[in-house]
Structure 1
Amino acid sequence: MSKELRYGILGCGMMGQEHIRNIDLIEGASVTAIADPDAGMQQENKRFAPNARFCNDLDELLAGNDFDALLIVSPNYQHASQLMEVFAKTQLPILVEKPICTELKDVAMIRKAAAAHPAPVWVAMEYRYMPAITQFVKHVLDGDLGDLKTLTVCEHRFPFLEKVGDWNRFNKNSGGTLVEKCCHFFDLMRLVMQEEVLSVMASGAMDYNHIDERYDGEQPDIIDNAFVIVNFVSGKRAMLELNMFAEGSRYQEQITAIGPDAKLECLLPGPGRFWPVETLGAAPVSKVIISPRDPKGPIESDIPVDPTILEAGDHNGSTFYQHVGFHKAVTEGAEVEVTVDDGLRAVVIGMAAQESIRTGQVVYVTEHGFGYSA
């Protein structure tokens, strides 16, 4: 297959624009067709992809023959049905944004259809590809901590941003905060632990954000803070601490892994465009810190990102590196690093956490869903 890769994109909102800017940085990649029902978004994106064909929906996009791979960046609740339509009508390679679906009923259906699709299908999990997290994961998998026992992900960040139609204010559209926002982290937990989840316990609420907002008379119902404990089959444990009204700190995420030989930390700043350069100077740089038990003492490394790549998005350069991997999978036959199974399992963990909050019970995770102990 040619090393040239032309993208068709379904959805050109905030995240779609980030994808377009990063595709533009990859030699041999270009955006040639974009579909979005919002005329304002189409007009805005002409400055990022002036030579692309613009259209209104998936059918119109697929009617053309001017792209080699499809990128799905539409609102969450549309992903499952659009993905199934693309499976049925094409043999295109697909990169689909997380979450791959928002309803439990779609999990088995997507898994079966994806298994029959002849081209690569890659689920976008940007956190895997942040350079500092790549280094963090390497330390763990290289055995630098010994046999990993616990993993903690702490994210203190800004509230959900405004999206076209404000679809992300409601669980029915987003899948819920622990699916929409946090399937990234559940995917990362599986990657680091290298095993599957047994059960989930969670506590969370909508305590501050969006309470006074109304959309067609409806109050948003997405939670803005949570604790989630994730138990793995071997007895290893992970925890997520999420707070979405805490954007004033130097680092947005702190990830900690501990084994019998060492403690490992990863510190990640939030989007650079939100950092107050005028009052605080240059934005912070990601760090990885390993602290052996013997000899004691932390070893700290700055993990900078190329400024051009950093400027292209809000995810510490990860969108670029993700697209490099997808490009290789399509044009060179390289391995798909984030599979449909990865995407579905991460979503199911998030759904189980949402269910645990709703019921106050421990929820047990299965391949296609979740349930309760006898």
Structure 2
Amino acid sequence: MTQQDLRVGIIGVGMMGADHAERVASRISGARLVAVSDPDVARATALATALDGVRVIDDPLALVGDAEVDAVIIASPGFAHAEQLMACLEHGKPVLCEKPLTMDAESSLRVVEAEHKVGRPLIQVGFMRRFDPEYAALKQLLDSGELGRTLLLHNVHRNKTVPETFRSEMIVRDSLVHEVDVARWLFDDEIVRITVHAPTPTSLVGEGVLDPQFAVFEMANGAIADVEVFVNFQVGYEVRCEAVAEQGSAAIGLGVDVLTKKAGHWGGAVPDDFRVRFGLAYDIEVQRWVNAAAKGEIDGPTAWDGYAAAAVCTAGVQSLQERRPVEVEMVRRSEVLG
């Protein structure tokens, strides 16, 4: 890397990728968006036209190999991640990959092993809640020991709506996966068993879709975390987390920054989607990724974190299908990374 701006290419310019494109182009220092790629060429072209100096490269693997692209953000669907990540490793390109790392534990492990063979970390996974100021403050508080040992973690993850194509398994892999990483991070421990319950589904989803879901994570140290995931909540986007410890508790995501009283009512706004609730977290995440990539480093969740989350979600999908607790199968970190 030179002292010039990091030249970034983005694969996938749907809602998340387009948001990242605008972010890199206008709010991130030390970086310049130079290329985008998407199967919807018209969408990619419209985005590139709106942003000065951005090329459209039809083939995402060609974008990875392009000599004018220093680093890559992968915001494509999860099923495409494995191939695109392997290309980034082959070309030695730092990459910020949106969750999930891949669609299952086996392919995620292959990515971890391939990165290890490269000899340096290149992959950062987009678990952006680690960068949210509220989550970061909660982590700092729990690590300080002020509340004693953390015993329980309660999580709520609600979306206003999702596309009709969003099926039951995707709720585990694409939504619940965030709380998987949150639990591993806050407890600094692995999840060894997961149970995903499916109560009577909302009448507002298609036949066969199990929404909401309620998951229980059992940690290696004996602690427990629970998660309600409801992706067709209708009200808005809501993410909350409460940690219960030996000498107190702490909660975030309560949305009490601005409390309004008017015309005989009181309350506040509920955001429509994640871009409002976690906009600052994404800004911090991408800025730190750019800063680290320029130095040949990463600064956030690793490929191993992505593999661990994929292993839990693989077990979670099995639990959802079989309606029983499922043990999480993972290799030992030392077996892969030494």
TM-score bin, normalised by smaller chain: 0.7 to 0.9
1:9 lines up with 2:10 in the alignment: yes
* TM-score where L is the length of structure 2: 0.85
| Cα deviation digits, residues 116-152 of structure 1 (max 9, x gap) | 2345210111222121111111111111211111111
Letter of the 1:258 counterpart: V
Q: Does structure 2 conserve the Cα–Cα contact (< 8 Å) formed by 1:209 and 1:224?
A: no
| 1:21 and 2:22 matched | yes
For the 8 Å contact 2:205–2:211, the answer to whether it is kept is: no
Paired residues of 1:150 and 1:258 also in contact (CA < 8 A):
yes
Aligned to 1:356: 319
Letter of the structure 1 residue corresponding to residue 134 of structure 2:
A
Q: What residue in structure 2 maps to residue 289 of structure 1? A: none
Can you give the 5+ residue segments of structure 2 that lack an aligned partner in the other structure?
256-264, 333-338
**Equivalents in 2 of 1:34, 1:268: separation in Å?**
36
Distance (whole Å) between structure 2 residues aligned to residue 351 and residue 322 of structure 1: 26
Q: Distance in 2 between matches of 1:9 and 1:346?
A: 23
Task: Tell me if 1:346 matches 2:309.
Answer: yes
Deviation string 1:73-101 (CA, Å, 9 cap, x unpaired) is 1111111122123323x011111110011
The alpha carbon displacement at 1:105 in A equals: 3.0
Is 1:336 equivalent to 2:310 in the alignment?
no
| Aligned residues of 1:177 and 1:222 also touching (Cα < 8 A) | no
- SS of equivalent residue, structure 1 residue 85: helix
Instruction: Return 5+ residue gaps in structure 1 as ranges.
Output: 213-218, 270-278, 286-309, 370-374
**Which amino acid is the alignment partner of residue 364 of structure 1?**
E
Farther off after superposition, 65-74 or 346-355: 346-355
1:42 to 38, 41, 44: 44
The SS at the match of 1:37 is coil
Cα distance in 2 for partners of 1:361, 1:207 equals 18
Give yes or no for contact 1:126–1:318 (8 Å, CA) kept in 2: yes
What residue in structure 1 maps to residue 260 of structure 2? Answer: none
- Partner of 1:317, secondary structure, is helix
* Partner Cα separation in structure 2 for residue 11 and residue 209 of structure 1: 32
RMSD of aligned Cα (Å): 2.8
Q: Decide whether aligned partners of structure 1 residues 208 and 365 sit closer, same or farther in structure 2, where only a CA change above 3 A counts.
A: same
1:81 to 68, 71, 83: 83
Instruction: Give the whole-Å Cα distance in 1 for the aligned partners of 2:296 and 2:184.
Output: 25
Aligned length: 320
Q: Partners in 2 of 1:169 and 1:20 — Cα distance? A: 24
Q: 2:238 aligns with which of 252, 272, 285?
A: 252
Cα offsets for 1:189-224 (capped at 9, x unmatched): 000001111111111268237744xxxxxx7x5532
Letter of the 1:226 counterpart: Q
Task: Please give the residue correspondences for 1:94-113 in structure 2 after superposition, counting only pairs within 5 Å.
Answer: 94-113=95-114
Offset at residue 6 of structure 1 (A): 1.0
The correspondence for 1:193, drawn from 177, 181, 187, is 187
1:249-293 deviation per Cα after TM superposition (whole angstroms, max 9, x unaligned): 7x7122110111111000255xxxxxxxxx9896469xxxxxxxx
The structure 2 residue matched to 1:138, chosen from 137, 140, 148, is 140
Q: By how many angstroms is 1:332 displaced? A: 3.0
Higher mean Cα deviation, 230-239 or 323-332? 323-332
The one-letter code of the counterpart of 2:313 is: G
1:367 corresponding residue in structure 2: 330
Partner residue of 2:223? Answer: 236
1:272 alignment counterpart: none
Q: Which moved more, 1:150-159 or 1:227-236?
A: 150-159
- Structure 1 residue aligned with 2:285: 322
